[in-house]
Amino acid sequence: MAFHRFKALETVLSRTPVNVIMPSNKLSEIFGANVFGIDAMREYLTEDAFKSVLSAIQEGTRIDRKVADPIASAMKSWASTKGATHYTHWFQPLTGTTAEKHDAFFEPTEGGRAIERFGGAQLVQQEPDASSFPNGGIRNTFEARGYTAWDPTSPAFVIGTTLCIPTIFVAYTGEALDYKTPLLKALSALDKAAVDVCQYFDKNVTKVTATLGWEQEYFLIDEALYNARPDLVMTGRTLFGHSSAKGQQLEDHYFGSIPERAAAFMRDYEVECLKLGIPVKTRHNEVAPNQFECAPVFEECNLAVDHNQLLMDVMDKVARRHNFRCLVHEKPFAGVNGSGKHNNWSLGTDTGKNLLSPGKTPKTNLKFLTFFVNTVKAVHDNADLMRASIASANNDHRLGANEAPPAIMSVFLGSQLSSVLDDLEAKVKSGKMSPDEKTALKLGIGKIPDILLDNTDRNRTSPFAFTGNKFEFRAVGSSANCAGPMTVLNAIVADQLILFKKDVDSLIAKDVEKDEAIFQVLRKYIVESKKIRFEGNGYGEEWVKEAEKRGLSNIKTTPQALGAFVSKQTMSLFERHNIMSEREQHARYDIYLETYTKKIQIESRIMADLAMSHIIPTAIKYQSSLIENVRGLKEIMSEADFKKSGQIQLAMISEISDHINIIKTKVYEMTEARKKANAISDVKKQAIDYCDKVKSYFDIIRYHVDKLELLIDDENWPLPKYRELLFTK
Q: Residues in the site for ligand ADP, rule: CB under 6 A?
A: 211-213, 215, 295-298, 344-346, 354, 467, 469-470
Q: Quick one: what does residue 354 bind among ligand ADP, Mg ion, none, with the CB cut-off 5 to 8 Å set by partner type?
A: ligand ADP
CB nearer to Mg ion: pick between 85 and 459: 459
State the minimum distance, in angstroms, from the CB of residue 413 to ligand ADP. 16
Write down the least CB distance from residue 214 to ligand ADP, Å.
Answer: 6
Q: What is the DSSP string of 534-576?
A: --S-TTSHHHHHHHHHHT-----SHHHHGGGGGSHHHHHHHHH
- Say which entry of Mg ion, ligand ADP, none residue 725 contacts (CB below 5 to 8 A, set by partner kind): none
Q: Give CA–CA dist 586/562, Å, rounded.
A: 11
What residue type is assigned to position 424 of the chain?
A: L
Residue 211 beta carbon to ligand ADP: minimum distance, rounded to whole angstroms:
4
Nearer to ligand ADP, 84 or 311 (CB): 311
Least distance CB 526 / ligand ADP (angstroms): 23
- 212 interface partner picked from ligand ADP, Mg ion, none, CB below 5 to 8 A per type: ligand ADP
- Residue 194 Cβ, how far from Mg ion at the closest point, in Å? 24
For residue 112, what are the contacts with CB-CB under 8 A and spacing of at least 6? none
Residue nearer to Mg ion on the CB measure, 194 or 295: 295
First-to-last alpha carbon distance for the chain, in angstroms, is 22
User: Which range, of 340-348, 427-435, 448-456, 677-685, touches Mg ion by CB under 5 A?
Assistant: 340-348
Query: Which listed option, Mg ion, ligand ADP, none, makes contact with residue 191 (CB within 5 to 8 Å by class)?
Result: none
627 binds, among ligand ADP, Mg ion, none (CB under 5 to 8 A by kind): none
Output the smallest distance, CB 256 to ligand ADP, in A. 17
CB nearer to ligand ADP: pick between 126 and 209: 209
Closer to ligand ADP by CB, 338 or 559: give it.
338
- Name, in order, each residue with C-beta under 8 angstroms of 525's C-beta and a sequence gap of 6 or more: 373, 374, 376, 377, 500
**Positive or negative: CA dihedral 533, 535, 540, 546:** negative
Residue 85: which of 159, 187, 3 has the closest Cα? Answer: 159
Cβ proximity to Mg ion: between 390 and 688 the closer is 390
By beta-carbon distance, which residue lies closest to Mg ion?
342
Contacted by 175, from Mg ion, ligand ADP, none: CB < 5 to 8 Å by type:
none
Least distance CB 356 / ligand ADP (angstroms): 7
Instruction: Write down the least CB distance from residue 125 to ligand ADP, Å.
Output: 32
Residue 88 interaction partner, one of ligand ADP, Mg ion, none, beta carbon < 5-8 Å per kind: none
Over 171-239, what HEC string results? Answer: ECCCCECECHHHHHHHHHHHHHHHHHHHCCCCCCCCCEEEEEEEEEEEEEEEHHHHHCCHHHHHHCCCC
Rounded to a whole number of angstroms, the CA Rg of the chain reads 29
Minimal CB distance to ligand ADP: which residue?
213
d(C-alpha 391, C-alpha 378), whole Å: 19
Q: Dmax of the chain from CA atoms?
A: 105
The least CB distance from residue 467 to Mg ion, in Å, is 7
Instruction: Tell me if 149 sits within 8 A of 124, measured CB to CB.
Output: yes
Residue closer to Mg ion (CB basis): 217 or 270 = 217
Minimum Å gap between C-beta 494 and ligand ADP is 17
State in angstroms the smallest separation of the CB of 656 from ligand ADP: 48
If contact means CB under 5 to 8 A according to the sort of partner, which of ligand ADP, Mg ion, none does residue 368 touch? none
Minimum CB–partner distance for residue 368 and ligand ADP (Å): 13
Comparison of 342 and 353: residue with beta carbon closer to Mg ion: 342
345's contact among ligand ADP, Mg ion, none, with CB below 5 to 8 A by partner kind, is ligand ADP
For 643, residues 6+ apart whose C-beta sits below 8 A from its C-beta are none
470 binds, among Mg ion, ligand ADP, none (CB under 5 to 8 A by kind): ligand ADP
Sign for the pseudo-dihedral over CA of 298, 303, 304, 308 = negative
* CB-CB contact of 712 with 274 (8 Å): no
Nearer to Mg ion, 215 or 709 (CB): 215
CB of 215 to ligand ADP, least distance (A): 6
Q: Which is nearer to ligand ADP, 86 or 307 (CB)?
A: 307
Indicate which single residue of 342, 442, 577, 659 sits in contact with Mg ion (rule: CB under 5 A): 342
Chosen from ligand ADP, Mg ion, none, partner binding at 343 (C-beta under 5 to 8 Å by type): none
Distance CA 102, CA 96 (A): 19
Q: Which residues contact 393 (CB under 8 A, 6 or more apart)?
A: 558, 595, 596, 599, 600
CB closer to ligand ADP out of 27 and 297: 297
- Is 565 within 8 Å of 587 (Cβ atoms)? no
**Contact between 152 and 38 (Cβ < 8 Å):** no
Which of residues 341 and 695 has its CB atom nearest to Mg ion in the complex? 341
Residue number, 15 or 458, with CB nearest to ligand ADP? 458
Cα separation of 565 and 389, whole Å? 8
Kindly tell me the sign of the dihedral angle through the C-alpha atoms of 446, 447, 453, 455. Answer: negative
Pairing of strands 86-90, 103-104: antiparallel
For residue 211, the partner it binds in Mg ion, ligand ADP, none, with Cβ less than 5 to 8 A by kind, is: ligand ADP
Please work out, in degrees rounded to the nearest 5, the angle formed at the alpha carbon of residue 616 by the alpha carbons of 602 and 625.
160
332 makes contact, choosing from Mg ion, ligand ADP, none, with CB < 5 to 8 Å by partner type, with none
* 172: Cα within 13 Å, side-chain hemisphere: 13
Query: How distant, in Å, are the alpha carbons of 141, 373, 566, 573, 688 from that of 173?
Result: 13, 39, 21, 22, 31
Residues contributing to the site for Mg ion (CB under 5 A): 342
